[in-house]
Structure formats: C-alpha cells, structure tokens
Structure 1
Amino acid sequence: MTGGPLEGVRVVDLSSVVVGPICTRVLADQGADVIKVEPPEGDLLRNLAIGARSPGMPGKFMQFNRNKRSICLDLKQPAAMAAMHRLLDGADIFVSNIRPAALARLGLDAASLAARNPRLIHCAILAFGTGGRYANRPAYDPIIQSLSGIAGTFERATGEPRFVPMVMTDHTTGLIAAQCIGFALYRRERTGRGEAIEVPMFENMASFVMTEHLGAASFDPPAGPSGDLRQLSPFYRPLPTKDGWITVSPNTDAQAFAFFDAIGRPELRDDPRFSSAQARTANAAAYFEVRAQGLAQRGTMEWLAILEAADVPVAAYNRIDDLAQDPHLRDVGFIVPEDHPTEGRLHRTANPNRFGGGERADALPAPRLGAQTREVLHEAGYDDAAIAALLDAGAAREASLPPA
C-alpha cells in the first residue's frame, strides 16, 4: 500500500534515457506501481551516464528511476512479447518513447493495444508529432533545443547559439506527459474507456519558446519584433557584486523604486525610462545596466540583507554543488539519504510536491536491470516452471548481483 494519489494504478513503462523515465518517476512518486520493461542491454542511461559503483547503476540513472520495478524482456522473442501483452492486459497506463514506426512493428501501437485492453491509457512520448514530415526522425535533447528555437534565444541574447546545459526538453516534455496522463485518468473515471495520448517534444518546446517570445509578432501584421527584450538582454543573468554574484528581479513599481533607493539612485523613480513597468520593459537594456552598476557597489551578503529588508526579489547564486547545502532545501528535507541494497549509501532528491490526502509511504530504490523479473512475471500469472522456461530461453532475464 503506497498511500499516494495514484495508489492502485499500474504503469507499464517501455521508455528509456530521460523523457519517459521522468514522466514515469512522477507517476511512481505519486504511488503508481511502475513496471520498467527493459531490453537485455538495459535502459541506455545505465551505460550513457558516468559515475557508478557497479556497472549499470550510475547516479543519474538512480535519480530518474526510483520507486520503479524492473523486468528484463527480449521483445524480439515471441515468448517475451506474450509476457509483455499479459502485463499490458492488466495495466492502466502504457508509456513509451519509441518512434511510431518501431512501436507499430512491435504491435504496441495504440489501436492494437486498445483492442486488447479498452481501458488502457496509451501515452506515446515522441520527438515529433505523427502528422508532420519529421515524424520518424531520431532525436535527443540537443536536437530539439536546436530545432525549437531554444538555442536561438541564446544567440539573440549573447550573439552565439548554445544549449541549456541540462536535458531541459526531456524534463519538460516528461512532466507534460505525466500531466496529460492525469487528464486521461480523470476522463476514464467518467467514461470507463482509455485513450491514446501523443506528446511530442518538438511541438511542446516550440510552444514554450513562441509563447514566451512571439510577443508583438503575434499580430498580423506584426505590431513589433519578436522576443521579450528583458529576457534577451545580456544582463538577464546573475550579476557580479564586490565579492561574488547575486540575482535580483524587481518587476513591480514598488520593487523597482525600492531597488533604486537601495542602490542610492532614488532619482531614477522619475526617469521616464524607468517610471513604469511598461517603460522599464521598453528600455530593458538600460534598466538592466543600472542594476548591474548598482550591485557592483557592495558584497553579496550585504545586498541580500538590504534587499530582503526592502522586499525586493533577490537570491543568492547557487552553483550545482551548493544546492545540497541550501538552507531552505534542508528545511524541507529535499535531499533524502538512502541505503541502496546493492549500491550502498547515496543521496537522492525527494518528491517536491505535497498532497494533503496522503502521499506515497514506501520508497523503492532504483532497480538493477531485471531485479523484479521473477516477481512481476508471477503477478502476471506465470508459475515457476513457466518463468524458468522464459529465463532459460533468454526471453526474460534476472538481475545479477555486483561483485563483492
């Protein structure tokens, strides 16, 4: 009994790397029973990421795959596909990030599975929507960042295109997929029927960029150029102080005027370039330069005290290694110590969201490849002899323990 809002919901997860696993981790964190179906070589992330105590168990994989159970099936073998169908016949949700043509060749497309299990919610996370010419192209995060305009926002801001240094499009699309699954579950409660969901990375990220930056170019004819001038400013970043870095974001008049007072420039309240939110947006480059010049006068801790007292949005600058020591994250118990049964002591992130009606009470460590193969097959109705036959044929595989 997990106690989360998705308790009793079973997910068959045929996804890998990041975009699918982040979706199913959200579902698992909320109490769903997520069965991670992996090929004999395992999820690519097991070998793509570095930093592990034993093969196939790098830290990055473990962060994305907590609260899941792993079954290893070679779906090229008919006996393994039969086992897969048994799992899907008893599932509520199927998640994959396999290209549409390959999914159809496996007979795991939405129409085929709906014929077997009409209540199944089939969520296909794709690089590109099936209605377009890119539909069956392979893609990873940098491909989508380049194509969707994310890298182009850096060119507008700094003169050089670059990628956000994390798989942002995978994370974002995975979260959107989990949201869509929630919507579909709600509709199934009313109709009794499942449905097919298509969640494309490219279209979702193009939507993010265009919603943020189309702006005046939304009109026909355009009322002005595209792009949010504030966010495309080279000063839209942490700014240097006398002894470090800091970030400020005074947007309302009250916040901006309090900031002007704090940096010793109260006369800027009446400067027509800065006297209203609209004026500050139109003159974003000059406004951001004023911020940069003002913040260079004092040290970071001094500014934090002054600006927090003035109710100006302000924050210290955290590097990656600083996050584990952030006092707020410590207050809320964001970093959770875990004793993994094979990988030893580690630290993982907690589920940041809270449900008043109850949350997942247990916590499953990220599984070794095939760690629950036998257990899951038993639940699907296979007896010991049938499981042994699958294992002997190589259609299913079990986890091997790391060397002592």
Structure 2
Amino acid sequence: MSGGPLDGVRVIDLTSVVVGPICTRTLADQGAEVIKVEPPGGDILRTMARGSRTPGMSGKFINFNRNKRSVCLDLKQPAGMEAMRRLLAGADVFVSNVRPVALERLGLDHASLSVTNPQLIHCGILAFGSAGRYANQPAYDPVIQSLSGVAATFERAVGEPRFVPMVMTDHITGLIAAQSIGFALFRRARTGRGEAIEVPMFENMASFVMSEHLGAATFEPPVGPTGDNRLLSPDYRPLATQDGYITVGPNTDAQAFAFFDAIGRPELRDDPRFCSATARTANAPAYFSVRAEAMAQRTTDEWLKLLSARDVPAARYNTLEDLMVDPHLEDADFFIMEDHPTEGRLRRTKTPNQFSGGMREDGLPAPRLGENSREVLREAGYTEAELDELAVRRIIVEPEMPRESAA
C-alpha cells in the first residue's frame, strides 16, 4: 500500500524518453503502481543522457523513472506479446507514446484491449492528433517547439528563433496526459467504463502558445496583431543590476506605483503611458525600459530590500547551481538525498504537491532494466518454470549485475 491518492491503481507504462515517463512518474508519485515495460535494449534515455555511474542508469533516466518497476519484454515474439496482454488484463491504465499504426499492428489499440478489459483506460500520447494530416508522423520536443510557435516567440522577442533549453513540450504534454488520466479515472468510478484518451503534443502546445498570444486576433476580424507585447518585449527578462541580475514583476496599479516610488520616479504615476494597467500593457516596451534602466543603478540586495519593503514582487536570479542551495527550497527539503541500491548516493527532487489525505510512503528507486521482470510476471500467474523458459529464450531480460550498493 503506497498511501498516495492513486493507491491501488495499476498502470502499464509502454513509454520512453521524456513525455511518457513524466506522465507515468506523476502517477507513480501519487501512489499508482507503475510497471514500466521496456524492450530488450531498454528506454533510450538510459544511455542517451549525459552522466551515469553504471551503463543504462543515466541521471536523467533516474529522475524520470522513480517509483516504477521495470519489466523487459521482447514484444516482437509471440510469447512476449502474450505476457504483455496478461499484464494489461489486470491493469487500470495503459499509457504509451507509440504511434497508433504501430499499436494497431501489435493489437494494443484500445478497441482490441477493451474486449478483454472494458474498464481499461488507454492513454496514447502522440506527436500529432489523429484528425490532422500530420497524424502518425514522428516528432520530438524541438520539432514541436518549432511547429507550435514556441521558437517563433523568441524571434519576435529577441530577433531570432530559439528553443527553450528544456524539453518543455514533453513536460507540459506529459503533465496534461497525467491530468487527463485522472479525469478518466474519476469518470470510470462513476460509470464503470474505461475509455481511450488521445493527448497530442502539437495541438496541446499550439493551444498553450496561442492562449497567450492569440490576443487581438481572438476577434474576427482581428482588432490588432497577434502576440502579447509585454511577453515579447526584449526587456521581458532578468534585468542587470550593479552586481548581478534581478527580476521584477509589478503588475497591479498599487505595485507599479510602489515601484515608481522605490526607483525615485513618483511622477510616473501620472504619466499617461503608465498610469493604469491598460496603459502599461499598451506601452509595455517603454515600461520595461524604465524598469531596466532603474535596476542598473543599485545592487541586487539593495533592490530586494527596497522592493520587499513596498510589497513589490521581485526575486534574485538563480543559476542552476544557485537553485540547489536556494534557502526556500532548503526550508521545504526540496532536494532529497537517498541511497540507490546500485547507483550509490543520489540527489532527487521532492514531489512538490501535498495531499492532506496522505502521500506515497513506499518510494521506489529507479529500476535497472528488467529488474522486476520475474516478480511482476509471477504476480500475473507465471510459474518459475515458465519464467525460466522465457529467460532462456530472451523473451524476458533480467539485469546481469547483482543488486548491491555502488562503491
């Protein structure tokens, strides 16, 4: 028993890289039993990410696959597919980021699986939705950033297209998929029926971008150009101080007027460009320019003290290294140190969201490839003799190195 809100929910996870594992890690962190089914070569993230102590256990894989068990199955062999179907027969949720045409060939599409398990919730995380002409095309995060307009927002802001230096579309889509599964579990609790969920990366990111930047084109005919000129201003960024950077965010009239007082420019309260939220939005480049010029006049600590005293939203600029020693995160015990059975001492992030009804208590380390193949299939009814036969035929794969602490 995990103790989390999804305690008792069994998830079969046929995903790889980031978008799917983020979804299933979210479910696992909330108490779901997640069984990660991997091919004989394993999830590519095991080896493609920088940083590892032993082969197949990259830091990125470890971070995205905690609280899961790994079963390594060769689904190209009939006996491997039979084992997969036996796992799905007892599952609540099936998550994949395999293209629909491939799932249909394998007989793992919703229509096929619902015959034997009508309560199964089948979540397909796709690059593109099935209704459009891009359906079944492959894509990764940068392709979606480019196609959905994420890269174009940088061109509008700083003069050249750029990618957000994170796999942002994977993270966002993975979290939306986890949310959608939660919705489907709620409906199943009321109706007793499972269903298919389609979660496309492109459409979700296009919605994400255009919800921000459709703007005046919301109206037909448009009453102005697309794009939020505040967010697309070159000065919408951390601002240089005398000794570093700071970010300020005075949005309401009270905050903006307090900011003008703090920088010694109280007359800007009555400037028609800045006297209201509407005016400041219309004149965002000029407003941001005032902010940038002012911040350069003092140190970061001086500004934080002045702005905090006036209740103006502001924060220092954190590098990745700064984030690891941020005092608020230290107060919240955000970074957790733990010992992995084979990888030694590790640092991981805490699950940020808390439930008063209880959180998962039996945290599991990220698994080695096929680490749990026998125990999971044993739970599905396989005998030891059958498991030995599957292992000899390489239909299941188990880790070769013994489970003991890394030196």
TM-score (norm 1): 0.99
Distance 1:76 1:109 in 2: 16
Give the counterpart letter for 1:312 in structure 2.
V
Residue 174 (str. 1) matches residue 174 (str. 2): yes
Residue in 1 that maps onto 2:38: 38
Distance 1:272 1:329 in 2: 41
Residue 280 (str. 1) matches residue 280 (str. 2): yes
Give the counterpart letter for 2:16 in structure 1.
S
Post-superposition shift, 1:376? 0.4
Give the counterpart letter for 1:382 in structure 2.
Y
Distance 1:400 1:333 in 2: 35
Distance 1:279 1:30 in 2: 44
Give the counterpart letter for 1:250 in structure 2.
P
Maintained 8 Å contact 1:36/1:68: yes
Distance 1:48 1:396 in 2: 23
Q: Deviations over 1:210-258 (max 9, x none)?
A: 1000010111100100100100000000000000000000000000000
Task: Within 5 Å, give how 1:227-266 maps onto structure 2.
Answer: 227-266=227-266
Post-superposition shift, 1:401? 1.6
Give the counterpart letter for 1:134 in structure 2.
Y
Q: Deviations over 1:145-166 (max 9, x none)?
A: 0000000000010110000000
Task: Within 5 Å, give how 1:113-192 maps onto structure 2.
Answer: 113-192=113-192
Give identity over the alignment, percent. Answer: 73
Distance 1:170 1:375 in 2: 31
TM-score (norm 2): 0.98
Post-superposition shift, 1:167? 0.1
Distance 2:98 2:216 in 1: 37
Residue in 1 that maps onto 2:298: 298
Distance 1:144 1:89 in 2: 34
- SS of the residue corresponding to residue 375 of structure 1 reads helix
- SS of the residue corresponding to residue 72 of structure 1 reads strand
- SS of the residue corresponding to residue 325 of structure 1 reads coil
Residue in 2 that maps onto 1:384: 384
Q: Deviations over 1:192-215 (max 9, x none)?
A: 010000000000000011100001
Give the counterpart letter for 2:358 in structure 1.
G
Distance 2:269 2:221 in 1: 35
Residue in 2 that maps onto 1:101: 101
Distance 1:401 1:169 in 2: 35
Distance 1:393 1:382 in 2: 15
Q: Deviations over 1:41-98 (max 9, x none)?
A: 0001011101000000011110000000000000001001000000000000000001
- SS of the residue corresponding to residue 146 of structure 1 reads helix
Distance 1:381 1:281 in 2: 64
Maintained 8 Å contact 1:342/1:401: no
Structure 2 residue runs without a partner (length 5+): none
Distance 1:105 1:322 in 2: 49
Considering only aligned residues, what root-mean-square deviation do their CA atoms show, in Å?
0.8
Give the counterpart letter for 1:5 in structure 2.
P
- SS of the residue corresponding to residue 71 of structure 2 reads strand
Post-superposition shift, 1:325? 0.3
Give the counterpart letter for 2:8 in structure 1.
G
Distance 2:27 2:139 in 1: 24
Residue in 2 that maps onto 1:370: 370
Post-superposition shift, 1:333? 1.0
Residue in 1 that maps onto 2:87: 87
Residue in 1 that maps onto 2:314: 314
Structure 1 residue runs without a partner (length 5+): none
Q: Deviations over 1:269-288 (max 9, x none)?
A: 00000000000000000000
Post-superposition shift, 1:103? 1.1
